[in-house]
Amino acid sequence: MDALKIYAFMLGIPLLAIVDMFRFRASTWRRSGQSRALWVVLALVLNVLGAALYVTGPRLVLRRTVRALRAEAATG
């Protein structure tokens, strides 16, 4: 049973990162210059490190892009 908990924990972290990646629209990914498919593959392949890569990589860029889009909409 302990091995199952460890496996679920190791797989759960990148799966949470992948679910979070799909919160953003495809147009947001295009505007930010990031590739969602690439980060999904990285999160799956690198398992534990995948979530860390996502948190440090596209998430920050996507948040900046969303903020810029909101500011643009507010002024326009």
**pLDDT at residue 1 greater than cutoff 70:** no
Instruction: Name the nearest CA neighbour of 52 among 39, 64, 37.
Output: 39
- Whole-model pTM: value is 0.66
Domains identified in the chain, total number: 1
> Is the Cα torsion angle 46, 20, 15, 51 positive or negative in sign?
positive
Domain extent at residue 36:
2-75
Write out pLDDT tens, residues 23-47: 899 999 999 998 999 888 888 887 7
